[in-house]
Structures are given as C-alpha cells and as structure tokens.
Amino acid sequence: MQPDQPDIIAAIATPPGKGGVGIVRISGKNLAGIANAILGGLPKPRYAHFARFSDMRGEIIDEGLALYFPAPNSYTGEDVLELQGHGGPAIMNLLLNECLNCGARMARPGEFTLRAYLNQKLDLVQAESVADIIDASTSQAARCAARSLQGRFSETIDKLVQSLINLRMLIEATLDFPEEEIEDLHNEAVNKQLAELKTQLNDILVSAHQGYLLQEGIKAVLVGEPNVGKSSLLNQLAEDEVAIVTEIPGTTRDSIQKTITLSGVPVHIIDTAGLRETSDIVEQKGIERTQAAIRNADILIRLTDVSRDETHVKSKAMQVFSDDKLHINVFNKIDLIGLPARVESHENTVNVYLSAKTGSGIDLLREQILHAAGWQTGQAGEGLFMARQRHLEALKRTQVHLDKASEHGEQESEWVLLAEELRIAQDALSSITGRFTADDLLGEIFSRFCIGK
C-alpha cells in the first residue's frame, strides 16, 4: 500500500444486479479530464446536477445526476465525482468503462475507504466499521457499527491512551528528577492511576467482546452419534426445514450450517456428519470436516439420546476435541421417557434436557447458548462497540502489559521496568485506532471490503 497514489480510481458503488439507481464513484486528484469527457465539464461542487453521460464519440450512454466533491471535503479526502445513473448492470459497466477509457483504473476492494483513512478522514476503527455496517447481519449489529463509525469506540480508546500517557509522564518525571520527599506521594498516585486504568480497560474489554459477538456471531457445533437428533434440533432452532431428518445413521455426511438470531446475536449452528469411525472415503471426509468445525467452534452442543443406554464410549473425534471446548450437554428425546424439560448447571457443565421433536426445552437451550458465549442480556443497547478480533487481541495485549506493570509498581527501583511495560501497553492500545499500524495489516483490513467502498 502506498500512501501517495496519485492515480484516479473508479468503481460501481451500488450492488450488482438491477435497481432504480446505480452509482459510479470516481476518486483522485484532478477529475477535470474525466468530467469534461463524460459531462462536458466539472459540475458545481456539492450540487446535484441533472446531466447526460456521454462516451468518447459524444454518444449518450445514460442520464442521471452528477455530484462533485472537491478535496478535501469528500469521503476519500480527494476529489470525488459521483455519477448516478440507471441501476442496470450493462449501463453501469458502460459508464465505468468510459471512466477507465478516460484514465481511471478499477478500484480495489476497500480502496475508497483506504484513501479516506490515509487522508485522515477516518481512523482505523471507523474505517473498519464502514465494512461492518455493510456486513451487519442484524439491526443491532448495524447500530453498533454506526456508533463505531461516529467515533465512539475511538474516543474511548483515545481517552485511555491519554490516561496512559499521563501516567507515563508522572513516572518518567520521577525517574528523571528523583526527590526523596515526594517519592511516597508518587508511589501512591502511580498505583492508584494504574488500578483505575486496569478497571477502565476491563470495562472496555467486556463491551468490546459483546460487540464482537454481535458482529461475528457465535459458532456452535452440534455433535453426537448418528440418530441422537442433531438435524432435528437444528430444525427446531432454525424453525424451518434446512437439514434432512432421516432414520438412516450417518446420512448427514457434510456439515450443514444455519444462522439463527438469538436476542439480536447471530448464531451459526453447524450440524456435523455422524461421528464414527469408518473406512468409507466419503464419510471419512465428513469426519475430517467435522473435526475442523469443532476446532473453530465457540461452543459445542453435545447431544445424547436419553431414551437409550448412554454408557457407550464417546467416539474418537469427540474425545479429542470435546473436553477443552466450551460445551453444553443436551439430553434429547425426553418425550420418549416422559421427562420434563430442564437445565442443570454444575460448576463447569450445563445439561439441558429437551425434545427436538416437540420443541419442549428449546428456549432453555437458546438461553444457555447465549450465556455460554458470554453474552450479557440487557447489554444490547447503548454503549456497545463494534469490535473485531483484532481489537480484542490488542485490548488483551494491553491488559497483559498493564498487569506486568503492576508487578513493578510497588518498588520504585523497578520503575524503569514499569515505564517500559506501560510503553508497550500504549503501543498495543494505539494500534486499535491505527497510530502504530503496519502496512501489511492495512492491506489485510482493506482487502476484505467490497469494491466501490
């Protein structure tokens, strides 16, 4: 990624397919050439102009609105031209091609937003939230992303960075000018400020984790022997017929995934192939995929059939992956032996008794899935940030170094080490909004955008 790309980029900004309006967006330095060719001149800035769009030979391609935003008052911070024509794929491609004929090149995914970031129109968290708004799969996730775009997450992070800087200044001052009388005073102030920082960071981590769940969703995997009722349970949870329910063991060879929404949180549920050892090649593939799904899961939902004798040993795949994963044990088919639906919570295990057939106890399972993933009900409204894995990792790294800093806080002789830990913590925290962000990370972040954004 080069910060100073003088070239002009263009893309169709509206989704592919037909619609009332389609938009071609152009950004770069000096768009007079393109504007002359297509519109006969640059439109008056920030006015909506009815215009005819013509090609090189002067033939009219389409008519619509032209909007011109000169730098720096535009989305990208460069000159931006928007051509709003009719939303058909053929007409949009003609218009885009005309831009390319006039010297623009196709924009890469996320390149408009990358330029906005490089021109300091947005910080990194805000740029990411643009993609998150577009990708949001629930209205709650969209609202959260909008809050991040407004800069609420960035402000919170910046405030914490500022507190860290203040604390570092206090320490560096003490290290540079050691005065016996004020030593005790400083010691107390440093430890107090450090403790406050840690509390604030912890609060941010909690709400960032909620935001992360809202955006990414919870990955849950249904595991269990053939015929225990995995597909039936998935159907009940999804309340429609996604998986084929069958009485032949091992029919669900491939994983079937369905995304449902619980309290506004997307939950991706995967129904795995029957877990058992086999020499069947096709089935072997299914088992490998099952193991991969289990590795990536946030939660395992382990099913057993209460109507059967359950003393049989767990299959190999279950033993390898199940025990260190967060899991919920579901005892299915309570209707067959007349048990009531209920939840049993022990220290590290949760058992849910239900019937995938009648639906009795399904709501209990829904609650337990949210609970196990760390979703705090009632947290869904104000104050949630749209956070990504990258943000959570940075927050956790900050936490580790603040903890290390605390270990050096008691002895003033160790304050050099304390100061160093705080410096590392500050770098980690600042990487969230992008002040210390490597180029390869930028490439990774923006490549996941759609084209035209």
Six-digit token string for 252: 């669900």
Helix (H, G, I), strand (E, B) or coil at 242: coil
Query: Is 314 among the residues that bind ligand GDP (CB under 6 A)?
Result: no
| Residue 335 in the binding site for ligand GDP (CB under 6 A) | yes
301 binds ligand GDP (CB under 6 A): no
Among the listed ranges 102-110, 112-120, 149-157, 222-230, the one in contact with ligand GDP (CB under 6 A) is: 222-230
HSE-CB of 280 using CA atoms within 13 angstroms: 13
| Near ligand GDP by CB under 6 A: residue from 356, 418, 425, 428 | 356
Question: Considering the rule CB under 6 A, would residue 392 count as an interface residue with ligand GDP?
Answer: no
Task: Count Cα neighbours of 362 within 13 Å in the Cβ-side half-sphere.
Answer: 17
Residue 231: which residues within 8 A CB-CB, separation 6 or more? 243, 244, 245, 246, 252, 256, 271
**Cα 204 from chain centre:** 16
Q: Is 273 known as a binding-site position?
A: yes
Is 231 one of the binding residues for Zn ion (CB under 5 A)? yes
Q: Which of Zn ion, ligand GDP, none does residue 247 bind (CB under 5 to 8 Å by kind)?
A: ligand GDP
Cα separation values, 285 from 280, 288, 292, 296, Å? 9, 5, 11, 17
Tell me if 276 contacts ligand GDP by CB under 6 A. no
Which of 129, 140, 154, 231: binder of ligand GDP (CB under 6 A)? 231
368 binds Zn ion (CB under 5 A): no
Whether residue 251 is annotated as binding a ligand: the answer is yes
Whole-angstrom distance, CA of residue 300 vs CA of residue 234 = 13
Residue 123 is assigned to a ligand binding site = no
Which ranges in 119-225 belong to alpha helices (H)? 124-135, 139-149, 152-176, 180-216
DSSP 36-50: HHHHSSPPPTT--EE
Is 231 annotated to bind ligand? yes
- Asked if 230 touches Zn ion (CB under 5 A), the answer is yes
Q: Which of 1, 238, 245, 362 binds ligand GDP (CB under 6 A)?
A: 245
In the complex, the residues that contact Zn ion under the rule CB under 5 A are: 230-231, 252
In the complex, the residues that contact ligand GDP under the rule CB under 6 A are: 224, 226-232, 245-247, 252, 332-333, 335-336, 355-357
Q: Output the known binding site for (6S)-5-formyl-5,6,7,8-tetrahydrofolate.
A: 25, 82, 121, 453
